[in-house]
Amino acid sequence: MGKKRIIKKSKETVLEEKDTLESKMKKDVKISVSSKINEGKVYISSSYNNTMLTLTNMKGDVLTWASAGSIGFKGTKKATPFAASKVAESITLATKKMGIEKVAILAKGIGSGRDSAIRSLASHGLSISSITDMTSIPHNGCRPPKARRV
């Protein structure tokens, strides 16, 4: 084995990566609803691989959505709490453009990004009316193995 070489990123490359992430995050949101909406629902789906946020109106019609992968995170970085907070930030920008001030949060999944997404939504100025956990729970579990025949 030879010498281990550590690649150090310069400040310029780090700033360029940050700019590309922010430019992907600040996409123009198409408002397809003619009337102004005051309330909405945010569905958070968090898995071990990704975090997805969906903004809907009170009936459940999807207004916009974002995921860690759509923002530009790749691989294992998609499942981090930092990526989830960036996704929540982009959803917050969309809610501000649409005029939504009050949201109900419905969280589902066991990923690490769920809590940080909720905190990020609250810290960016959204009024949260309720937080509901919709994670599915097995009632009776898996079928046990057959009895051993000796």
Distance CA 108, CA 41 (A): 13
Tell me the average pLDDT across 82-100.
93
Domain borders along the chain are 39-133
Helices vs. strands in the chain: H and E counts, helices first: 4, 5
DSSP 8-state symbol, 136: -
pLDDT at 15: 79
Dihedral sign from CA coordinates of 115, 118, 122, 123: positive
- Of residues 70 and 3, the one with the higher pLDDT is 70
> Helix, strand, coil % (nearest 5) of the chain?
35, 25, 40
pLDDT in tens, 5-59: 777 777 787 778 777 777 766 555 555 544 578 899 999 999 999 999 999 999 9
Secondary structure element (H or E) that encloses residue 43, with its range: strand 39-46
Identify whether the C-beta of residue 113 lies closer than 8 Å to the C-beta of residue 84. yes
pTM for the full model? 0.73
pLDDT at 145: 93
Secondary structure element (H or E) that encloses residue 45, with its range: strand 39-46
Distance CA 122, CA 115 (A): 11
Banded pLDDT at 68 (limits 50, 70, 90)? very high
Name which of 67-71, 108-112, 137-141, 145-149 the model is least confident about.
Answer: 137-141
pLDDT in tens, 101-132: 999 999 999 989 999 999 999 999 999 999 99
The CATH fold assigned to 39-133 is Nucleotidyltransferase; domain 5 (3.30.420)
